[in-house]
Chains A and B, each alone.
Chain A
Amino acid sequence: MLRKTILQPTNMPIVETQRLRREFQAKKKVITALEDIDLQVEESVVFGLLGPNGAGKTTLIRILSTLLLPTSGKATVAGFDVAKEPEKIRPLINMASGAERAGYDFITARGNLWFFSQLYGVDSSVANRSIETLSAALRLENYLDSKLYTLSTGYRQRLTIARSLINDPRVVFLDEPTIGLDVMTAKSIREFLVSQAKDQKRTIFIATHNMAETEAICDRVAIIDSGRIVACDSPASLKKNFGAPATVMEVSPPLQSLQAISSVRGVKGATSAIDADRGVARLKLIVDDEGAVKAVGAIVESSGSKVLQSWMQEPSLEEVFISLIGRGFAERESEDAN
């Protein structure tokens, strides 16, 4: 691979933001997408930015990858200011989004990777070696000479990941890299990303709303909601400091309004989901005391529903989010939509 220069003392964070703020002007009103973001990301880690849709993850990634200027505050990558020195940052980074097209349809996977390597001035022989190495690691080698339009979503996504590493970047920004992938493909991509951070000493910065993904691969996680970082630590510490065991209650329809349940004294947060296959609703409660669970049970029963079963669940990042915000991702997203 071709990493050439170390451009800063290694004890500095590779990505740093200070009171970062970004506003957008939209139809006579100002939308604050990011507010007072303070982050420090060390080298060679997998860093997760976890939040519901609309939380500001993509905006932050776009600022850090020099596509967007902050409204105020400061952000640096590899010691360089994203606003003032984008030309010094660009050779050192790469970016990929799960939503992007992996390249040009009528060119082979190999051709696309070579083309994108040339945007970074990578020598063709080095690029060809990198293509072989990356495609072997991502199990893409049998499809290298297939045209892009013939590849399945999973292989296109693998190609996108390979593309984001073709210039041997120090920092890779990935926006929802496993979105829409089957479980096994997503798992293999996650394992690959972890190996890139550990073996290649690369910093992988992932924005995602996938909690299981974040928990599985991230060394550190920042939880973002409505443009603000509400917590930042390792997944284990987040669970230890903010997570509480959840009480899961399976109830028969109709489901009681979540607002009524959330307003029960002792309920710190609640979320609900419908299990369409089984025709039941599942309530997840974070409570301060056991009495709150009983009170919620009574509300459910009084509305004509029936509590079918309930159990305790060990805290995951989902419980951390519910504890911190009071609601789950789905509820936050529907609030934003309204």
Chain B
Amino acid sequence: MYARAWVRVKSVYDEPLWLLVNIGFPLFTSTGMALLYRSAGLASFSGFAILGGIMMAFWGNVLWGMASQFYWDKQVGIFDIYLVSPASITAILVGMSIGGIFSTAPSAVITAILGWLLFTPPIAPSWLAVILVFTITLISLYAVGMLLSSLYLAYGREGEAVNEALSEPVTMLSGLYFPTLGSTSPFPLALQAVISLIPLTIGMDALRRTVFYSEDLGSIASSLAVLTAMTLVLIFSASRALKILEERGRKEGTLSVRLR
């Protein structure tokens, strides 16, 4: 687990260009949104955009660094090495997640610092709740990545297209740009109910409430409970899915074998 995390962190921190790209994408996107809100007279919303930028960095890493990683590993033969070794595939995924969090951290921190310096949005954080929500949201986000990685393994080449297809809709629906749950959401209740199935939506809503409206642990307890339950289900599902895929792959020759 530690070794796989090390590979991920080392790959990014040793390549300054990658680091810059990782920082640049969420920073510029969220700054653009914040500027738009400010020019529209919605200064308080600029804070939402900065918060969205922070989580966007992690979401991008989940999609491009986590979900499709096993698919690429399979294409170049590294996944075979994992399967032949006694290491647990779930442990490798967890290591990849931890490495992903640490390698994305500079991007999130710089977006937070620059965003707040540039826009000074009004914040009133309830720190304990913020830290807890942030941590659980992050874990749930990477749990989604773990499940997606097994799905990409199953569906092969379509993985990249799925990444493209998921990227923008999830970014928009989960509230990375603007609130999508509650009274300020532009979406009808039915749609809000549907998008609540995305852990990031619940996490973003809870983060917004704790960072900007001082809501404490008590008032976001239900969100935390739902997020935690979702995370556990996702991790269990990912682990099961990988096990099933491995067994099916051994039986049918679909996971790693190239028929020659």
Contacts and interface: CB of A to CB of B under 8 A. Distances in A.
Contact of A91 (B86, B92, B259): B86
A90 B76 CA distance: 20
B40 interface: no
B240 interface: no
Interface in B67-98: 76-78, 80-87, 92
B257 interface: yes
A68 B250 contact: yes
Interface size class of A (residues with CB under 8 A): 35 or more
Contact of A93 (B84, B253, B257): B84
Given A24-B253, A103-B78, A33 B10 contact: no
Contacts of B255: 67
A90 B10 contact: no
Given A99-B77, A103-B78, A120-B87, A68 B253 contact: yes
Given A67-B250, A119-B81, A90 B86 contact: yes
Contacts of B76: 100-101
B245 to A, nearest CB: 13
Given A68-B253, A107-B10, A100 B260 contact: no
A121 B88 CA distance: 11
B3 A118 contact: yes
Given A24-B253, A119-B3, A58 B84 contact: no
B81 A100 contact: yes
Contact of A100 (B77, B87, B251): B77
A115 B81 contact: no
Contacts of A104: 7, 11, 78
A69 B251 CA distance: 5
Interface string A83-108: 00011001101110101110110110
Contacts of B260: 53-54, 57-59
A65 interface: yes
B86 A106 contact: no
A306 interface: no
A119 B253 contact: no
Interface in B1-60: 2-4, 6-7, 10-11, 14-15, 18
A119 B258 CA distance: 23
A78 to B, nearest CB: 13
Contact of B7 (A95, A115, A120, A167): A115
A67 B84 contact: yes
Main secondary structure of the interface of B (DSSP, over half): helix
Given A59-B260, A101-B77, A119 B86 contact: yes
Contacts of A101: 76-78
Contacts of B77: 97, 99-101
Contacts of A120: 85-87
Interface string B97-117: 000000000000000000000
B252 interface: yes
Given A67-B250, A68-B253, A106 B84 contact: no
Main secondary structure of the interface of A (DSSP, over half): mixed
Contacts of A107: 7, 10-11
A65 B250 CA distance: 11
A190 interface: no
A25 interface: yes
Nearest to A104: B7
Nearest to B258: A58
A260 interface: no
B10 A65 contact: no
B228 interface: no
A174 B251 CA distance: 22
B86 A121 contact: yes
A62 B79 CA distance: 13
A204 to B, nearest CB: 16
Nearest to A53: B260
A111 interface: yes
B256 interface: yes
A308 interface: no
Contacts of B253: 24, 62, 68
Contacts of A68: 250, 253, 256-257
Contacts of A66: 83-84, 250
Nearest to A91: B86
Nearest to A66: B84
B76 to A, nearest CB: 4
Contacts of B259: 24, 26, 31, 33, 59
A143 interface: no
6 contacts: A62-B253, A62-B256, A67-B80, A91-B86, A106-B15, A119-B86
Interface of A: 24-26, 31, 33, 53-54, 57-59, 62, 65-69, 86-87, 90-91, 93-95, 97, 99-101, 103-104, 106-107, 111, 114-116, 118-121, 147, 163, 167
Given A111-B10, A115-B3, 8 more contacts: A33-B259, A53-B260, A66-B84, A97-B80, A100-B78, A116-B85, A118-B3, A119-B92
